[in-house]
Amino acid sequence: MLAASMLLLAGCAGAEQGDAVSQESSEAPEAPANRAGASPVPSPAAAKQVDCTASEETVFSCAMPGGKRLAVCAPSAGPAQYRFGTKEPELVLRGGKWARAMYSGGGEAQIAFANGDTRYIVFSRMVRTNFAAGEPNYPAISDGVLIMRDDELVAVRPCAGGQADMPVQYDAAERVFAQEDELFTDETMRADPDWSR
């Protein structure tokens, strides 16, 4: 089950909003044949590590359970990158879009990257958990990535400990990504510490 979950993070090869590069082991699915007029998937040479370099702006960063890391990095030139893996990326996605919403006592930011029919939605959210008059808000904070295929939820992967090293940076996301009017999904609520099925 764990191996299958990790393969979901590595995903299918392809591109929709950006380019995808997978460096997964031989267990990763092969890239589909290029569509007419589509350029080949670029070389992963630019991404030598998962965490953002000193010359890149960190838009999001967190440790994932199992010792892996996830980062969204904005290089000085070229599109932003979603990176997932250990020391070296197993999956690099380029491009992306972002959206945000304000809540009473909190808010949420999401950055969506496409890999064929699979979307990886990085999120940072804070929601109010106490609505009693005069009482503290007691916010629930959660960060991670949500994986969807054909608009169906595949997995919710919270950051280790439930929170990111660096949650989505709104100013950076505003500069780097095209902004959508609405959040990509409301399924991120499943990552809230008190969420129950």
Residue 35 included in any domain: no
Residue 121 included in any domain: yes
Give the model's confidence band at 53: pLDDT under 50 very low, under 70 low, under 90 confident, else very high: very high
**Domain region containing 12:** 2-24+49-191
Residue 71 included in any domain: yes
Residue 118 included in any domain: yes
Residue 61 included in any domain: yes
In order of 6, 63, 70, 80, 158, the CA distances from 66 in angstroms are 10, 9, 12, 25, 12
Residue 38 included in any domain: no
CA distance 91 to 107: 28
Residue 37 included in any domain: no
Total number of domains constituting the chain:
1
Give the model's confidence band at 193: pLDDT under 50 very low, under 70 low, under 90 confident, else very high: low
pLDDT per position as a tens digit, 163-181: 999 999 999 999 999 999 9
What letter does residue 166 receive in the DSSP assignment?
A: B
Residue 42 included in any domain: no
